[in-house]
Structure 1
Amino acid sequence: MPHTLFIADLHLSPTRPDITDCFERFMQQEVIHADALYVLGDLFEAWIGDDDNSPFHQQIKAAFSAVTERGVPVYFIHGNRDFMIGQRFAMETGVTLLNELECIDLYGTPTLILHGDTLCLEDIDYQAFRRKVHQPWLQRLFLCLPLTWRRKIAAKMRAGSANANQQKSSTIMDVTPQEVQRQLDKAGVTNMIHGHTHRPHIHQWHQHGTAYQRIVLGDWYDHGSVLMCSAQGCDLQTRNFIHR
């Protein structure tokens, strides 16, 4: 049956080989049979530049290349952890980079896809940080630094983010419903798929007589999380890690 796959929030890193193993099996055994794969951000725990050719990053790139070379299209939307992924990564993997918001035709259903961090307007501190780090001049300056410096900066930023999130309520770190509705109305669609919040669920509601649906992708911390969509609908699924 023709189907399209969606994933997000894998946070791949050398420290979690169980996640990497599950991801590689998913690519080798499932994605090759799909119509397309959409990665909606936070593929990596951190990305400090396309020039970081560590063995781990080469391993992940090879997994994408093996799929795209077989003719399966792979699309990527930046997350808050890997917004520095650029055209060099795309050229080396065959992955197509998308805008932060994209409308796609999902088997006849117009659907808005995005990472999801821009929907969390209650998290004022994060939104201010996001506006800062997405400034092109600051990114260019960061990429001019030696890789060793960038790794230290990224590690410090991740630690700071983890500490800050422990102090925030779950409501603050979830989406703002009014912003979800605004983006749907702006795009002129009734369906949305995103990640970021790590709260997998299919939300359905009605407003002014119109039915809406918002699908939230899960993270890959305890198990793999995959959304499979076909002409018959969408199904949130999990994939078990193999502990060696």
Structure 2
Amino acid sequence: MTTLFISDLHLSPATPDINQCFVRFMREEAIHAEALYVLGDLFEFWVGDDDRSDFATLIRNEFKSLTALGIPCYFTQGNRDFLVGKRFAKQTGVTLLGDETVIDLYGKQAIILHGDTLCTEDVKYLEYRAKVHQPWLQWVFNRIPMFIKKKIVSKVQSDIKTDKQTKSLEIMDVTQDEVERVMGEHNVDLMIHGHTHRPNIHRFDKDGNNCTRIVLGDWYTQGSVLVYDKDSFELQQRPFGQ
């Protein structure tokens, strides 16, 4: 049996190739897994659990079908889908996780997270994150009409795109000191995260311990899956259009 990890799919009504790859992954691969972990940014932007569009219904149904088969599915919010909430969890059967979660992987402890909080040099983004995670602001947003939500989201997406164009890649990457601090805080030598769109397996020494940081890939040009079992792990790609 294997445990699967995905992140940064950025699904939306405008990404049919990615959506089809995701559906195929759920129906043909995830159903055979021991568990599925979604580490944030499943959506390009989730406007709220009250979204009743055909697209939102399709994605909810895929998770509902998977969990109905008894496959545990865990969801960590990303910077694009921080509004995924309790209603989504109830509708789909997924379990919502906190920003940082320690899990047991076949006897090995690992810290899993989206990864945005590791980018400590991206001060402007962290300030934005702190604002949108305020409970009172989310409470207000969740209670305004859907057409107003979509206008706000469109403006936010435009601002994010503009902001990224002015930042260096180094600023948007994780800070090694923060990686080591978080791993030390949770007393683990394995970390799995997404967010940076830089799939890789980083190995380093910390206080005499051999540590591993696995970075999940995005789904912009192909699917990306971390396949983890008791004996090995591998970052794998899933081509579109099959």
Is the structural similarity TM-score above 0.5?
yes
Counterparts of 2:80 and 2:236, CA distance in 1: 23
- The letter for the 1-side match of 2:155 is K
Runs of at least 5 residues in structure 1 that lack an aligned partner in the other structure: none
Counterparts of 2:207 and 2:58, CA distance in 1: 49
Match of 2:54 in 1: 55
Deviations 1:44-94 (A, max 9, x none): 111111111111100011111111101000000000000001111011111
**Secondary structure at 1:164 match in 2:** helix
- The letter for the 1-side match of 2:82 is F
Deviations 1:117-169 (A, max 9, x none): 00000000000000011000111111121110100100110111011001100
Displacement of 1:232 after TM fit? 1.0
Counterparts of 1:138 and 1:74, CA distance in 2: 28
Q: Could you tell which deviates more after superposition, 141-150 or 68-77?
A: 141-150
Q: Could you tell which deviates more after superposition, 103-112 or 138-147?
A: 138-147
Counterparts of 1:112 and 1:233, CA distance in 2: 17
Match of 1:169 in 2: 168
- The letter for the 2-side match of 1:116 is G
Displacement of 1:36 after TM fit? 0.2
Displacement of 1:241 after TM fit? 0.4
Say how many residue pairs are matched.
242
Runs of 4+ in 1 over 3 A off after TM superposition: none
- The letter for the 2-side match of 1:163 is T
Match of 1:30 in 2: 29
Taking structure 2 as the reference length, what is the TM-score of the superposition?
Answer: 0.99
Counterparts of 2:43 and 2:87, CA distance in 1: 16
Match of 2:131 in 1: 132
Match of 1:206 in 2: 205
Counterparts of 1:208 and 1:47, CA distance in 2: 40
Match of 2:241 in 1: 242
Q: Percent identity?
A: 54
Counterparts of 1:54 and 1:208, CA distance in 2: 50
Counterparts of 2:81 and 2:54, CA distance in 1: 18
Match of 2:41 in 1: 42
Displacement of 1:104 after TM fit? 0.3
**Secondary structure at 1:219 match in 2:** coil
Aligned pairs (5 A) from 1:115-194: 115-194=114-193
Match of 2:65 in 1: 66
RMSD after superposition:
0.8
Question: Contact (CA 8 Å) 2:180, 2:206: kept in 1 or not?
Answer: no
Displacement of 1:207 after TM fit? 2.2
Counterparts of 2:57 and 2:183, CA distance in 1: 37
Counterparts of 2:137 and 2:206, CA distance in 1: 41
Match of 1:109 in 2: 108
Displacement of 1:17 after TM fit? 0.3
Displacement of 1:22 after TM fit? 0.2
Aligned pairs (5 A) from 1:12-23: 12-23=11-22
Deviations 1:168-210 (A, max 9, x none): 0000000010000000000010100000000000000112211
Counterparts of 2:16 and 2:193, CA distance in 1: 25
Counterparts of 2:47 and 2:26, CA distance in 1: 24
